[in-house]
Chain A
């Protein structure tokens, strides 16, 4: 009985994790610009890996493995936003962002203001 319950849990957790991977891939395929793809690509991975790690924990059925699985997940939590931010910033700065898809852009005016200020203080250019 306990075996059946844990098997069902492992199975559903694995399918959930796989679905999250699929979500990332489908988003990668269908979203129109880099930034939107980024949302789809980086985030579902976090939940997906959590599902997979939980599946391992349920399958092993011992408290010993829990810390190492948690550490693996925390490392992912710490690294994913950093790489997402770096790629996103690079995308914004190199104009990979499609402005026509944005309804509001509150960073644009700030960037413009900073650019004009720099031009005024340094007329010779770079």
Chain B
């Protein structure tokens, strides 16, 4: 069986994650246990081959914390909102399938955005177009194009956060151009 060699550095995040899981499951973060876990993680990562995930090599912990906070807040708000909707409207609910075009072509970012969106109640990824990085979302309680627009803006803001956390430099450049454009338009009117 031939396979392409993965450089150790791209394997590292996976191995670190596996070691953390190992330590957590034993509830023992002593050095010996962690080293043994690292050996097992290395063996597992090499025996059960997975296609490598292309990371961007950037990670901003500050924005990650901000993203986590925003995510938890939206999770709580939206969970209660779905509860309320099911009680208030029930069968008389209008939904919509909305296409959202994302900025980044990277698989990782599209997946991460889709995951975050799916976890927040009220929206669900039905289909993904990988070639144009478009997500098709099914949204609860959307009946007008204006509301669909709001969903779109919200998803793109989620993506913006994720780009700031772990996007590539190209994605960041897109973000900056967009910001400048917005500013000029605001100044122009």
Query: Which A residues contact B (CB, under 8 angstroms)?
Result: 19-20, 22-23, 26-27, 30-32, 35-36, 38-40, 42-44, 46-47, 64-65, 67-68, 70-71, 77-78, 80-81, 84-85, 88-89, 92, 101-108, 110
Query: Size band of the B side of the interface?
Result: 35 or more
**B109 in contact (CB, < 8 A):** no
Determine whether the beta carbon of B120 is less than 8 Å from that of A43: yes
> B123's closest neighbor in chain A, by CB?
A39
The binding surface of chain B is classed by DSSP as mixed
For residue A52, give the distance in angstroms from its CB to the closest CB of chain B. Answer: 14
Task: Report yes or no: A35 in contact with B138, Cβ–Cβ below 8 A.
Answer: yes
Could you tell me the distance in whole angstroms from the C-beta of B6 to the nearest C-beta in chain A? 21
Contact pick for B75, options A47, A81, A102, CB 8 Å: A47
Contact (A107, B119) CB under 8 Å given A67-B24, A71-B21: no
Q: Out of A44, A101, A104, A110, which one reaches B82, CB within 8 Å?
A: A44
Q: How far is the CB of A33 from chain B (nearest CB, A)?
A: 8
Among A23, A36, A88, A103, the residue within 8 A (CB) of B83 is: A23
Q: Please indicate the chain A residues that have their CB under 8 angstroms from the CB of B186 in the complex.
A: none
Determine the residue in chain A with the shortest Cβ distance to B27: A64
Which B residues are within 8 Å of any A CB, using their own CB?
20-21, 23-25, 27, 29, 75-76, 78-80, 82-83, 86-87, 90-99, 114-115, 118-127, 129, 136, 138, 140, 142-145, 148
Q: When the two chains form their complex, are residues B83 and A104 in contact, meaning their CB atoms are under 8 A apart?
A: no
What residues of A have a CB within 8 angstroms of the CB of B148 in the complex? 104
Inter-chain contact A31/B119, CB cutoff 8 Å: no
Expressed in whole angstroms, the Cα–Cα distance for A103 and B138 within the complex equals 11
Q: Is the CB of B119 within 8 A of A106?
A: no
